[in-house]
Amino acid sequence: MDKFGDWIIMLVAAAIMVWWVFRRFDRWLHEPPGSRLRKLALAGGVEEDETVLLLREQDYEVLSGKHRISLGVVLNDGPTMPTRLYFDYLAFKDHKYYLVKMERARQPMDWTASGLRERLLVYALLFPDCEGIVIVAHDKQLKTVRFKVEAGEE
């Protein structure tokens, strides 16, 4: 009789685990677009500085600041090497999200198409729900970068 009771407990536990996995998958599958951005918006605080004031002057609502995205890189099946991507702010304007990066003196922005692609495309791919990437240039101008996939030659 003990063995029969053990099997029932095991089957009930397995059924609960299968139900839980199915619910998590279903919730992930039906997650609305932009939910990653909304989670980021709730994650970080905003310190009042001149960049935030500049963004607010241009009608951006600064939702959060100073984000770090952790990544792992594996080379030739070796150990995972940790690295990070940084962006300065997450902003909202006209019902659209924007990532904000500040141009740094140590790493000036190359304003050519290939320079922008090399530097910013990874952010557009990580956050496809963003309308664009706003760059705060040294001269306190805001420049918006958007990537558009064009039809290739066949």
Query: In a 10 Å sphere around its CB, with 0-12 CB exposed, 13-18 middle and 19+ buried, how is residue 150 labelled?
Result: exposed
Write the pLDDT tens digit of every residue in 30-53. 665 555 655 665 566 667 778 888
The structure's pTM equals 0.66
Say if residue 45 is in the same domain as residue 24: no
User: How many domains are contained in the chain?
Assistant: 2
**pLDDT score recorded for residue 17:** 94
Distance from C-alpha of 19 to C-alpha of 10, rounded to nearest angstrom? 14
* Same-domain pairing of 23 and 57: no
CA distance from start to end of the chain: 70
pLDDT of residue 26: 80
Count Cβ atoms below 10 Å from residue 134 Cβ, excluding itself. 22
Same domain, 82 and 6: no
Same domain, 54 and 117: yes
Q: What is residue 154's predicted lDDT score, i.e. its pLDDT?
A: 55
Residue 148 token pair? 């558009």
pLDDT at 46: 67
62 and 95 within one domain: yes
Nearest to 40 by CA among 66, 70, 71, 61: 66
Query: Same domain for 3 and 39?
Result: no
CATH number at residue 46: 3.40.1350
Residue at 152 is within a domain? no
Same domain, 96 and 124: yes
pLDDT at 129: 80
CA atoms within 13 A on the CB side of 136: 23
Which strands sit side by side in the sheet containing 80-93, from one edge to the other?
A: 61-74, 80-93, 96-102, 132-136, 142-145
pLDDT in tens, 58-99: 888 888 777 777 888 898 988 989 988 888 888 888 888 888
Please tell me whether residues 93 and 20 are part of one structural domain.
no
51 and 26 in a common domain: no
DSSP readout, 28-70? HHTPPTTHHHHHHHHH------HHHHHHHHTTPEEEEEEEEEE
Same domain, 86 and 141: yes
24 and 92 in a single domain? The answer is no
Mean of pLDDT values over 98-112: 86
Q: Are residues 13 and 43 in the same domain?
A: no
- Domain encompassing residue 114: 35-145
